[in-house]
Amino acid sequence: MIKYFLMNLLLSGIWVALTGSMYYTNFLFGFLLGFFVLWIMNRNETDQRYFYRVPKIISFIFYFLYELIKANVQVAFDVVTPKYFFKPGIVKYPLNAKTDFEINLLTTMLSLTPGTLILDVSEDKKTIYIHVMYLTDAEKFVMQTKTGLERRLLAILR
């Protein structure tokens, strides 16, 4: 899989060299072009993970950005209006993520989403404690996150 990624990078590099334009959009374009070429060439290979994963990553990024903006707007609204709408609380969240890298990525994502903030990870790395701004129901919040962010993230990583 890393082989494909490096190949893809090489292709985009060649593209940049060929066109002679160092502008970053050109590089991006070269990357997409390279991806497409690679995908075409390796359609019949057994290991197709790279070609699934890239779209997944892209869709995850958009998902994340959407969540980010949505929540940001919500918080921003709350911040500037005189009345507070939030119901904060600290929630215990059992982790599906196993490795350090997974946990780290998840916590970073969670922390960067407005309304949630990781306070700590338990010693055995099975639980995280999240400070949530808009908490109607702790169980519901845990379920939503599990099916939303964590599932999507793990899908990319595994």
Partner 1 sequence: MKSAILQTATRYLLPILLLFSFFLLLRGHYFPGGGFVGGLVASIAFVLHSLANGTASTMKILGYKPISLIPIGLAISTVSIMLPMLFNLPPMTGLWFEEPIPVIGMIGSALFFDLGVYLVVIGVVLTILFTIALDE
Partner 2 sequence: MIDIILAILSTVGALSILFASIGILRMPDFYLRLSVTVKASTLGVGLLLICAAIMFPDVSVTTKAIAIIFFLIITAPIAAHMIGRAAYFTGTPLWKDTVIDQLAGMYNKETHELESNGGPKNSEGGSEPPNIAKSEEETE
3-state class (DSSP) for residue 17: helix
Stretch that binds partner 2, among 30-38, 48-56, 80-88, 145-153 (CB under 8 A): 80-88
- Residue of minimal Cβ distance to Na ion: 116
Q: Are 131 and 90 in contact (CB under 8 A)?
A: yes
Separation between Cα atoms, residue 150 and residue 105, nearest integer Å: 10
Of the candidates 103, 154, 157, the one whose C-alpha atom is nearest the C-alpha of residue 130 is: 103
Which of 9, 33, 37, 68 touches partner 2 by CB under 8 A? 68
Residue 76, interface with partner 2 (CB under 8 A)? yes
* Region for 120 from its dihedrals, namely left if φ exceeds 0, alpha if ψ lies in -120 to 50, beta otherwise: beta
Of the candidates 94, 102, 97, 86, the one whose C-alpha atom is nearest the C-alpha of residue 136 is: 86
Residue 143, interface with partner 2 (CB under 8 A)? no
Residues 91-120 that bind Na ion (CB under 5 A): 113, 115-116
Nearest to partner 1 of 47, 120 (CB atom): 120
Residues lying near partner 1 in the complex (CB under 8 A): 100-101, 103-104, 107, 118, 120-121, 125
75 sits in which H/E element: helix 49-80
CB of 100 to partner 1, least distance (A): 4
CB of 85 to Na ion, least distance (A): 16
Of the candidates 51, 46, 52, the one whose C-alpha atom is nearest the C-alpha of residue 7 is: 51
Site of interaction with partner 2 (CB under 8 A): 22-24, 27, 68, 72, 75-76, 79-80, 84, 86-92, 107-108, 111-127, 129, 131, 133, 135, 138
